[in-house]
Amino acid sequence: MNDPHSSSPRRASTWLAILALLLAGAVFAAQWVRERAAANAPLAASAAASSQHPLGAVSSDRLLRIRVRDSVDGGALDANVSVHPLDAGAQVRALAADPSVRGARSAALAAGEYELRIGAAGHQRLSTRVRIDAAQPLPLTVWLPPTVSSDALDRLALKAAACARCAVFSGRVFDAASGDPLAGARVRSSQGRRTRSDRDGYFELPAQLPVEASAADALPATLDLTVESPGHRGRVFAGLPLLNDARALIVDLEPGQGLARSDRRHVQQRARASADLQRPMPAADAAQARADADAAARPLDPARPATVARAQALAAQSANVPVPASIRVGTNCSGRSCSSVSVYAFEDYVGRGLDEEWIASWNPQSLAAGAVAYRSYAAYYVAHPINGRYDICASTSCQAFDGDSVSATVAAAAATRGVVLTRDGASAAFSEYSSENNAWDDPSDGLSCVNTDLSCGNGRNGSPRNGWPCLSDEVGRGRGCFGHGRGMSQWGTQRWAANNGRDWRWIANHYFNGNNAPGGQRNAYLANDGAGPGPGAVVLDDFETGVGRFDSAPTYSGSTVGISAASLAQRDCATRRNGACSLRVLLKDDPGVASAWSVRLLSGGGTPANNVELIRAGGRVGLWIYTGGSGLRAALSVDDSDGTERSVERAIPANQWTYLEWTLADDAHWNAWAGASNGRIDAAGVRLDAVWLLREQTSFDVNLYLDDVQIVH
């Protein structure tokens, strides 16, 4: 806005503003370099450095360090980073790149809440939130997944599979201070194999599994991997599981000398060596974990019949529950106290972390069941963060996680993408699990049972005192309790899959709802299952040869608001759920309209005669839908004898194909909309009018895909 009382020429004020901004950026960048130089100095010197502020900042501001990296290979990314205040007190004083560190930014921020939006060419965009308070912000690394999935890990897994007793370890080595790849780094294994990293820091090292066959319940053999580079402190990855598979690592070496050793044994191997607890944690963290479980249990008191009825209703029709797009992971943790934060795309987190809790050599159906529990547990904590800085910690005090990736567990996460457990049909359940849940403590096995209630007895799971009713689980009979007895038994998933041929859906339902016999906390059902409509479906439009009846632009209907005429709907054969093609819908904001988006995507141009007649009796109308962003909702409108009825809206989980469905004869699914409509589908024969797409206004383009619009009887 121009100031009517100002006598300064507009051109001069503009150049002064630009000059001030350039000076601020220069001073800020210089300050960043000074702070990095002081990083290895005594604490007092570091504190003095951090008390300095860039031009325009004040003493209460805090400096947030941000690095952006490729989540697959660890490479630094030249990213676009923007910081957006979310409350009145929040203010961005400065945002500048650090020329000495690849992919690094720093922001001087006043106290308050912020949203960070991060994007890079060829990579998925992520957003995350940050709270700035009196404490110094933890360094933040954002790991962006490539837009096109890499098949490098799968190719290495095939190489390992070609040799029945082979494993392949690969990775990239970086200078932790600068982010530069380290060429010529020496990589050696405890089996005597050696190699060096190439100019991109990449290495590949084969290994051999033991000749003798392992017992069915044995944990994998291990090896140590050492990575060294001149002028850097080397790293020893001790106890890496030996799997007939491929593992990819991202190795950061700090400047210095000597060797740093990290225990990379599987969490179950570390726990078996512990003298006290199966999942050791400080007393305060254990108390908080119990409080989390109690908070999750309160709305689902087994004495309330409505909770059981709700669970049974969920079983009858898979719910659609929003899944987070990203997760803030506390890293370098002692218990729940962590010194840095990593932000991952949510499904990336599941694929990379599952092998830390489940054993990656287990049956694929066991791993898939584990992915559902692991994902649900993480989604619960995104909705209920353990503190303002991160959602979940990477230690066993929360859920074990490391950024490595193993082909088998990445595949298990992909096979169940987006599927979570829910107790209310609206949010992810607190999905507890532990190693061996049989309610019997074998006095001679040396394993630590932390179940406070073994009343269910041998051959049964449960902890009634803690809200988990007894469950017959014969696959665990004779196995000593090695866990807390709540939720899913990890070894049980393997025995049901490998020895009894059960699939992941059966296993998840077995442990979390007693195979449709819910009670207490065993009252959670699969959401976003993606199993589809089942038999009896008649596809109205499959988009295999064209756009079918959806041949109108998204703005064609006068009922559409919020989007511009540049929006489009067209056949697309790069993304699809079934067959070869789908309908891509690109929605672009209309900057001249401030209202939320409401898009009526017409079928048959909105003319009933152009659409197929649908039989109301027993009819369910559905479609597959995929969107890359959060916040989108969908609905249908249907023409019947008295006008046009519009369905209730359903949330669309991001980054996964989801099947949405509405029942024609269920009045709860419909509202009156146009004409003399009455909120009921009450004609014998009706016709689809449109698919509705709804979202709060955004300046970003939104891509979504529709596939196999259908009627099921």
pLDDT band at 410 (very low <50, low <70, confident <90, very high): very high
pTM reported for the whole predicted model: 0.70
Predicted local distance difference test score (pLDDT) of residue 584: 96
Instruction: Mention every residue, 6+ apart, whose C-beta is less than 8 A from residue 162.
Output: none
pLDDT band at 305 (very low <50, low <70, confident <90, very high): low
Query: Beta strand 433-434 with 202-208: parallel, antiparallel or unpaired?
Result: unpaired
Predicted local distance difference test score (pLDDT) of residue 250: 98
Instruction: Mention every residue, 6+ apart, whose C-beta is less than 8 A from residue 246.
Output: 153, 154, 156, 157, 159, 160, 167, 168, 169, 170, 406, 407
Class of domain 151-211+218-265: mainly beta
- pLDDT at position 5 over 50: no
Q: Name the least confident of 21-25, 395-399, 596-600.
A: 21-25
Closest among 691, 677, 599, 598 to 639, alpha carbons compared? 677
631-658 residue pLDDT tens: 899 999 999 988 999 999 988 887 778 8
Instruction: Mention every residue, 6+ apart, whose C-beta is less than 8 A from residue 487.
Output: 373, 431, 432, 433, 434, 437, 468, 511, 512, 521
114-152 residue pLDDT tens: 999 999 999 999 999 999 999 999 999 999 999 887 888
pLDDT band at 13 (very low <50, low <70, confident <90, very high): very low
Give the whole-angstrom CA distance, residue 104 versus residue 174: 14
Predicted local distance difference test score (pLDDT) of residue 14: 40
Please tell me whether residue 212 adopts helix, strand or coil conformation.
Answer: coil
Q: Name the least confident of 7-21, 335-349, 433-447, 539-553.
A: 7-21
Share of the chain above pLDDT 70, in %: 83
Please tell me whether residue 331 adopts helix, strand or coil conformation.
Answer: strand
Domain ranges of the chain: 64-135, 151-211+218-265, 283-527, 537-712
Give the whole-angstrom CA distance, residue 568 versus residue 585: 6
Predicted local distance difference test score (pLDDT) of residue 162: 87
Please tell me whether residue 316 adopts helix, strand or coil conformation.
Answer: helix
Give the whole-angstrom CA distance, residue 381 versus residue 323: 12
pLDDT band at 272 (very low <50, low <70, confident <90, very high): confident
- pLDDT at position 6 over 70: no
Mean of the pLDDT values across residues 348-369?
96
Class of domain 537-712: mainly beta
Q: Give, in order, the Cα–Cα distances in Å from 458 to each of 115, 474, 679.
A: 50, 9, 54
Burial of 122 by CB count in 10 Å (0-12 exposed, 13-18 middle, 19+ buried)?
A: exposed
Buried residues in 530-550 as b, exposed as e (16+ CB within 10 A): bebbeeeeebbbbbbeebbbb
Dihedral in degrees, nearest 10, Cα atoms 556, 560, 564, 568 = -50
Q: Name the least confident of 12-16, 116-120, 314-318.
A: 12-16
- pLDDT at position 8 over 50: no
Q: Which long-range contacts (CB under 8 A, 24 or more apart) does 398-402 make?
A: 398/330, 398/336, 399/353, 399/357, 399/374, 400/267, 400/353, 400/356, 400/357, 401/329, 401/349, 401/352, 401/353, 401/356, 402/264, 402/352, 402/353, 402/356
Predicted local distance difference test score (pLDDT) of residue 684: 75
Give the whole-angstrom CA distance, residue 581 versus residue 585: 13
- pLDDT at position 197 over 90: yes
Give the other-Cβ count within 10 Å of 184's Cβ: 12
- pLDDT at position 18 over 60: no
Predicted local distance difference test score (pLDDT) of residue 291: 63
Of 34 and 607, the structure prediction assigns the larger pLDDT to 607
Of 593 and 22, the structure prediction assigns the larger pLDDT to 593
- pLDDT at position 180 over 60: yes
The string of DSSP codes covering 362-427 is S-HHHHHHHHHHHHHHHHHHHHS-SSSS-SEESSTTT----S-EEHHHHHHHHHTTT-EEESSSSS
Of 684 and 74, the structure prediction assigns the larger pLDDT to 74
Compute the Cα dihedral for 481, 484, 485, 488 and give only its sign.
negative
Strands (E), 536-619: 537-541, 568-572, 582-587, 597-602, 613-615
- pLDDT at position 612 over 90: no
Q: Which neighbouring-strand residues pair with 337?
A: 334
Give the whole-angstrom CA distance, residue 499 versus residue 475: 9
Give the whole-angstrom CA distance, residue 302 versus residue 319: 21
Q: What does pLDDT average to over the chain?
A: 85
Residue 699, both tokens: 């300046």
Rg (CA), the chain: 28
529-571 residue pLDDT tens: 766 665 567 889 999 889 999 999 999 999 999 999 999 999 9
Are the C-beta atoms of 526 and 505 separated by less than 8 Å?
A: yes
Q: Name the least confident of 323-327, 436-440, 616-620, 678-682.
A: 616-620
- Report how far Cα 36 is from the mean position of its chain's Cα atoms: 32
Most confident of 271-285, 589-603, 612-626: 589-603
Of 540 and 297, the structure prediction assigns the larger pLDDT to 540
Per 3-state DSSP, the chain is made up of helix, strand and coil in percentages (nearest 5) of 20, 35, 45
Query: Beta strand 392-393 with 438-439: parallel, antiparallel or unpaired?
Result: unpaired
Buried residues in 212-236 as b, exposed as e (16+ CB within 10 A): eeeeeeeebbbbebbbbbeebebbb
- pLDDT at position 45 over 80: no
